[in-house]
Amino acid sequence: MQNVVIDSVKTVIGWVPERWLPGGTPDPLIGRRGAVGTQASRLDGPLKVAGQARFAGEVAMEGMCYATLVHSPVTRGTITRLDTGRAEAAPGVILVMTHRNMPRLGTVPLISMTDLSAVGNSAVPIMQDAEIRYNGQVVALVLAETQEQADHAASLLDIDYAVSAAKTDFDGAKPNARVPASILIEKNHVSVGNAERELGSARYSVDNVYKTPGQNHNAIELHAVTLAWQGDSLTIHDTTQMIAASATAIAKLFGLKREQVRVLSPYVGGGFGGKGLWDHQIVAIAAAKLAGRPVRLALSREGVYRIIGGRTPTEQRVAIGADGDGRFTALVHTGYSVMPPYGASPEQYSMSARAAYRSKSFEIIQRHLDLDIVPNTFMRAPGEAIGTFAVESAVDELADQMGIDPIELRMRNEPEQHPLSGTPFSQRALRKAFEDGARRFGWEKRQAQPGMVRDGEWRIGMGCAAGSFPYARMPGAEVRIRLGRDGTATVSSSAQEMGMGTATVQVQHAADRLGLPMEAITFEMGDSDLPAAPMAGGSSQTASLAAAIAAAADKLTVELLRLAGNASPVAGLRVGEVRLMEGEIVGIEEPSRRESFNSILSRSSRDEVVVTAGGGAPLEIFKFAMHSSSAIFCEVRVSDVTGEIRVERLLGSFDCGAILNPKTAISQFKGGMIMGLGLALTEETLFDERSGRIMNATLADYHVPTHLDVPEIEVIWTGIPDSRSPLGARGIGEIGITGVAAAVANAVYNATGKRVRDLPITLDKVL
Chosen residue from 378, 441, 622, 633 binding ligand MOS by CB under 6 A:
378
DSSP 261: E
State the Cα–Cα distance between residues 279 and 249, nearest whole angstrom: 13
Write down the least CB distance from residue 273 to ligand MOS, Å: 3
Minimum separation from the CB atom of position 534 to ligand MOS (A) = 11
- What is the rounded CA–CA span in Å between residue 309 and residue 214? 10
Nearer to ligand MOS, 229 or 272 (CB): 272
The reply to whether 471 sits near ligand MOS by the rule CB under 6 A is no
**In this chain, which stretch among 158-166, 266-274, 403-411, 574-582 interacts with ligand MOS, using CB under 6 A?**
266-274
Q: Choose the binding region for ligand MOS from 78-86, 373-381, 486-494, 720-728 (rule: CB under 6 A).
A: 373-381
For the CB of residue 377, give the shortest distance to ligand MOS in the complex, in Å: 8
Q: Give the DSSP per-residue string, 636-691.
A: EEEETTT--EEEEEEEEEEE-B--S-HHHHHHHHHHHHHHHHIIIII----EETTT
682 contributes a contact to ligand MOS by CB under 6 A: no
Binding-site member from 343, 382, 526, 657 for ligand MOS (CB under 6 A): 382
Nearest distance from C-beta of residue 222 to ligand MOS, angstroms: 16
> Kind and range of the H or E element at 160?
strand 158-163
Checking DSSP bridges between strand 233-238 and strand 261-264, what pairing results, if any?
parallel
Residue 499 Cβ, how far from ligand MOS at the closest point, in Å? Answer: 12
By CB under 6 A, is residue 380 in contact with ligand MOS? yes
Q: Are 143 and 67 in contact (CB under 8 A)?
A: yes
Q: With binding defined as CB under 6 A, does residue 345 bind ligand MOS?
A: no
Write out the H or E segment, with its range, that includes residue 161: strand 158-163
Closest CA to 509 of 23, 44, 45, 32: 32
Shortest Cβ distance from residue 672 to ligand MOS (Å)? 11
Task: Decide if residue 116 touches ligand MOS (CB under 6 A).
Answer: no
- With respect to ligand MOS, which residue has the nearer C-beta, 378 or 687? 378
Among 359-367, 375-383, 504-512, 593-601, the segment contacting ligand MOS (CB under 6 A): 375-383
Write the burial class of residue 147 (CB in 10 Å: 0-12 exposed, 13-18 middle, 19+ buried).
middle
In angstroms, what CA-CA distances link 578 with 282, 554, 609, 684? 49, 10, 18, 56
- Only segment of 24-32, 372-380, 463-471, 714-722 that touches ligand MOS (CB under 6 A): 372-380
Closest Cα to residue 234, out of 218, 246, 251, 220? 251
CA atoms of 482 and 281, how far apart (whole Å) = 33
Binding-site string for ligand MOS from residue 689 to residue 728, where x marks contact by CB under 6 A and - marks none: ----------------------------------------
The residues that are catalytic are: 734
Chain centroid to Cα 749, Å, comes to 30
- Residue 484, SS3? strand
What percent helix, strand, coil does the chain show, rounded to 5? 30, 25, 45
Question: Cβ-closest residue to ligand MOS?
Answer: 273
Give min distance, CB of 501 to ligand MOS, in A: 15
273 binds ligand MOS (CB under 6 A): yes
Number of residues that bind ligand MOS (CB under 6 A): 10
Q: Which of 170, 210, 267, 272 binds ligand MOS (CB under 6 A)?
A: 272
CB of 669 to ligand MOS, least distance (A): 15
Q: Which helix (H) or strand (E) holds 96?
A: strand 93-98
Strands (E), 249-407: 261-264, 295-298, 314-322, 328-338, 362-369
Q: How far is the CB of 47 from ligand MOS (least distance, A)?
A: 23
Among residues 22, 125, 214, 271, the one that binds ligand MOS under rule CB under 6 A: 271
Single-letter amino acid, residue 250: I
What track of x and - describes contact with ligand MOS for positions 204 through 243 (by CB under 6 A)? -------------------------------------x--
Instruction: CB nearer to ligand MOS: give 272 or 441.
Output: 272
Backbone φ and ψ of 163, nearest 5°:
-90, 135
DSSP-assigned states of every residue in 393-460: HHHHHHHHHHTS-HHHHHHHT--SB-TTT-PBBS---HHHHHHHHHHHHTGGG--SSTT-EEETTEEE
Q: Taking the complex as a whole, how short is the minimal distance between the CB of residue 380 and ligand MOS, in angstroms?
A: 5
The answer to whether 730 contacts ligand MOS (rule: CB under 6 A) is no
Selected range binding ligand MOS among 69-77, 148-156, 267-275, 542-550, rule: CB under 6 A: 267-275
379 near ligand MOS, judged by CB under 6 A: yes
Binding flags for ligand MOS, 499-538, as an x/- string (CB under 6 A): --------------------------------------xx
CB 208 within 8 A of CB 757: yes
- Nearer residue to ligand MOS within complex by CB, 234 or 379: 379
User: Would you call the peptide bond into 760 cis, given omega within 30 degrees of 0 as the criterion?
Assistant: yes
* Angle ∠(272,276,278) on CA atoms, nearest 5: 130
Contacting residues toward ligand MOS, per CB under 6 A: 241, 271-273, 378-380, 382, 537-538
